[in-house]
Structure 1
Amino acid sequence: MRRKNSAFASNAEPLLDIETLRAQTPGCEKVIHFNNAGCGLPATPVLESMIDHLRLESEIGGYEAAAARAEQVAEFHIQTAALLNAAPRNIAFAGSATHAYANALSAIPFQPGDVVLTTRNDFISNQIAFLALRKRFGVRIVHAPDLPEGGVDVEAMAALMRGERPRLVAATQIPTNSGLIQPVAEIGRHCRELDLLYLVDACQSVGQLEVDVQEIGCDFLTATCRKFLRGPRATGFLYASDRVLEQGYEPLFIDMHGARWTSAEEYQPAATARRFEEWEMPYAAVIGSAEAVRYARDIGLPAIADRAARLSSDLRKLLAGLPNVRVLDHGARLGALVTIAIDGWEPEPFKKALDGRGVNSALSFREFAQYDFGVDKDVDWALRLSPHYYNTAAEVDAVVDVIRELTWTPLPARSRSSTTPGRTRR
């Protein structure tokens, strides 16, 4: 049952009570958190649900606490399924989005010469995984071209589908290095028409946008809970469609949770997406993730998406007017990741200066996006700012003022060879 809260949108009124939402977000008192694409600030109900379960584990034991809270644990699959317009049987918990993605890839019986068709704006770990598949199995990696204005050329990608007949089509809905929103549903329509396996990385879109797996038409979808869903770290999930479950796709290293050992020489995988899970799970984090998903659903994804888009659009426009700042985001549709290049600064000193002024941000580097940064935009690094619905217009103005102040007094640039960037994963 969904809870009533004056801060949450109703079906008739999409406005949010930002004051109440911020009061439920303790971090708002300490920082301007524009790093939601890295980790969102957890809301108090998420924090309290996790602490409560950890306390119970300390009092009665870990196995016993998991058994006592079985209904709350099951809520993870129920809430996540409702978020995606799926069924609980299609949801598997994972320790991260990358773990979920690797499990999905491991379920595909690649053969030498198989084609993986993807885009130029994919997440770094996905691209590395494809290269590893090429090294081990001899698959071919084909990248669909982009449109001049940014974003994948869907018609060109569809032509490659027909010509290459790929074993897998893969797309990232929002890459970590840009605010670009890729047209994953359009790609999915072509995949369904051609009966091609389709994997979507929704790590940066779940919790920021309405994500409907039926509309997208994907066979697998992966995401994390720590970003725009505002859940705990080391949590994520895999969506596996009925089609892939019925056709027997299963992870390469299935364990005792995902299968039954039915005889000395045989095992039987679970009928549901639980075949992609492992026996050991961080139950406090699972419960916290369920609460984070419930919290987002109670607010309403349409209201969340609208506010996050407006804040990021305003931020992008204001930053575009600053000297020595270049907004890097291109595409027909942009989300709540704003990336900028800054003249006259090296990455770590600039981020440190923002940290010192109470502004949370992230850095992205050329190696995170070899096509987008290395070929198309020719930048070595970018600052990433990612506001969310609990941020305010005043915070947008404050961040722009800080960046304006810093870019008026640039530090002497060091040589590129002397830079040893700190690594922000996503």
Structure 2
Amino acid sequence: MKIFYEGLHVDIGRARMDTPGCKNVAHLNNAGAALPPRPVIEALTEHLALEAAIGGYEAAEQNAAATEGFYTAVAQLIGANPDEIAYVENATRAWDMMFYAIPFAPGDRILTTTSEYSSNAIAYRQVAASKGVRVDVIPDDAEGTLSLDALDAELSRGDVRLVSLNHIPTHNGLVNPAAAVGRLCREHGVLYLLDACQSVGQLTVDVDEIGCDMLSATGRKYLRGPRGTGFLFVRRGILLMLEPPFLDLHSATWKAPDGYEIREDARRFETWERYVAGQIALGVAARYASEVGIEAIQDRVTSLAGLLRERLAAHPRTSVLDKGKRPSGIVTFTVDGHDPAAIKKAARERGVNVNTTSPRSQGYDTSALPSAVRASVHYYNTEEEIDLLLTALPR
């Protein structure tokens, strides 16, 4: 095992040497897609080369152990069991497979947050229209985070089938109190679905500590895996009550002449055809994050994001927009009189990658601005890269 950290300190020099992209750009768009480390790149390209050399099916057979290792690596990363993990082509599909498998009935309620992702909100509305389900949005507390008191009150009213929220919203810098939500859901016997798209690979995520029944995540963001990869977790105790919205000969077994049997592990949510190279590389990314040390990563990301917020707050006419008691590695801001898209372009011209937020992703958050600059740091970033972003901002 490589040693990248001592206590809570990442070896930044080594991490950057392992990240070829660091030579080309100051990448502060990790909430979009992080720079992959060399072992992930090698795992991906080596399998693709093997497919080209001997054939796709034959390469899959030869690398079956590496494909299977994905389940163990991801399970260890989030404190789950391998049979509770499924490989899915992206976080949206992983979330969809879980959400649409829930047996909703007329009169059921879904509780969510103001900061929910619009893609999830669309799914809520579709199910509400087709199954007579009601969607209730829990208000924020004074600091802009999900109000636990309001959530407890809504749970006590009854008829709640599901609590569904994001761990870290895509458009502001807060971290939702996922573990506290989990405790309330267990007290009330309610299913809990956590969208961990922005938190896995950035924060310590332990499904037992959080208490979620289902969790979805992507490969491309803070986990530093390939695009077109994702995974889901579904707790053993609820697996058999969730029937996937579609099945194939991998997720179920055909029982001639007119029956089938769904498999009893989380792979009931998979399909037979998949991006094999991506699955292998995502397993490598999960092991890599574990080797660096999630606590060390979390500490480094929190420190860098705090430094960025301090320097932005001191910059002329700049407003930091992040909410909540606990900040994440996502930093959103505006500069008075300047379009966020123009700031993104100016930063790109100086070799700095940032992104912008958009109303299309802001869900129920009526307090969010139409657009803002989003800079998202990772542990391989440096103070010098933060300073480079500041030089790109208008004065």
TM-score, normalising length: structure 1 = 0.91
For the pair 1:359 / 2:352, whether they are aligned, the reply is yes
Q: Matches of 2:69 and 2:135 in 1, distance apart?
A: 38
Runs of 4+ in 1 over 4 A off after TM superposition: none
Deviations 1:140-167, CA, capped at 9 Å, x for gaps: 1101110011100112101101103311
Q: Matches of 1:144 and 1:347 in 2, distance apart?
A: 29
Aligned 1:121-132 pairs, distance under 5 A: 121-132=115-126
Of 305, 309, 319, which residue of structure 2 is paired with 1:316?
Answer: 309
For the pair 1:338 / 2:331, whether they are aligned, the reply is yes
For the pair 1:264 / 2:257, whether they are aligned, the reply is yes
Which residue does 1:4 correspond to in 2?
A: 2
Shift of 1:133: 1.3
Q: Matches of 1:347 and 1:317 in 2, distance apart?
A: 19
Q: Matches of 2:87 and 2:296 in 1, distance apart?
A: 26
Which residue does 1:162 correspond to in 2?
A: 156
Shift of 1:347: 3.2
Deviations 1:11-63, CA, capped at 9 Å, x for gaps: xx322221111011011011100000000100111101111101111111101
For the pair 1:376 / 2:376, whether they are aligned, the reply is no
Alpha carbons 2:116, 2:364 under 8 Å: kept: no
Comparing 80-89 with 324-333, greater Cα deviation is found at 324-333
For the pair 1:394 / 2:388, whether they are aligned, the reply is no
Q: Matches of 1:368 and 1:324 in 2, distance apart?
A: 26
Of 370, 375, 386, which residue of structure 2 is paired with 1:385?
Answer: 375
Matching residue's letter, 1:284 = A
Deviations 1:53-96, CA, capped at 9 Å, x for gaps: 01111111101111110110011111000001001000000111
Which residue does 1:194 correspond to in 2?
A: 188
Alpha carbons 2:85, 2:234 under 8 Å: kept: yes
For the pair 1:292 / 2:285, whether they are aligned, the reply is yes
Which residue does 1:89 correspond to in 2?
A: 83
Comparing 380-389 with 337-346, greater Cα deviation is found at 337-346
Comparing 149-158 with 13-22, greater Cα deviation is found at 13-22
Comparing 161-170 with 288-297, greater Cα deviation is found at 161-170
Matching residue's letter, 1:164 = G
Of 109, 132, 141, which residue of structure 1 is paired with 2:135?
Answer: 141
Q: Matches of 2:205 and 2:159 in 1, distance apart?
A: 27
Of 93, 100, 109, which residue of structure 1 is paired with 2:103?
Answer: 109
Shift of 1:242: 0.8
Where does structure 2 lack aligned partners over 5 or more consecutive residues?
Answer: none
Shift of 1:370: 4.5
Q: Matches of 2:288 and 2:313 in 1, distance apart?
A: 34
Shift of 1:132: 1.5
Shift of 1:135: 2.3
Deviations 1:335-364, CA, capped at 9 Å, x for gaps: 000001222122332211111111101111
Q: Matches of 1:354 and 1:398 in 2, distance apart?
A: 9
Aligned 1:396-411 pairs, distance under 5 A: 396-403=386-393, 406=394, 408=395
Q: Matches of 1:350 and 1:120 in 2, distance apart?
A: 27
Matching residue's letter, 1:376 = S
Q: Matches of 2:360 and 2:65 in 1, distance apart?
A: 43
Q: Matches of 1:394 and 1:176 in 2, distance apart?
A: 25
Matching residue's letter, 2:371 = W
Matching residue's letter, 1:365 = S
- Point out which structure has higher relative CO (alpha carbons under 8 A, 6+ apart): 2
For the pair 1:255 / 2:253, whether they are aligned, the reply is no
Aligned residue for 2:5, secondary structure, equals coil
Aligned residue for 1:376, secondary structure, equals coil
Of 219, 226, 229, which residue of structure 1 is paired with 2:223?
Answer: 229
Aligned residue for 2:357, secondary structure, equals strand
Q: Matches of 2:95 and 2:364 in 1, distance apart?
A: 21
Q: Matches of 1:82 and 1:355 in 2, distance apart?
A: 37
Q: Matches of 1:308 and 1:211 in 2, distance apart?
A: 15
Aligned residue for 2:47, secondary structure, equals helix
Deviations 1:201-221, CA, capped at 9 Å, x for gaps: 000000000000001111110
Alpha carbons 2:352, 2:388 under 8 Å: kept: no
Matching residue's letter, 2:326 = R
Matching residue's letter, 1:280 = E
For the pair 1:119 / 2:130, whether they are aligned, the reply is no
Q: Matches of 2:310 and 2:58 in 1, distance apart?
A: 53
Which residue does 1:73 correspond to in 2?
A: 67
Aligned residue for 1:238, secondary structure, equals strand
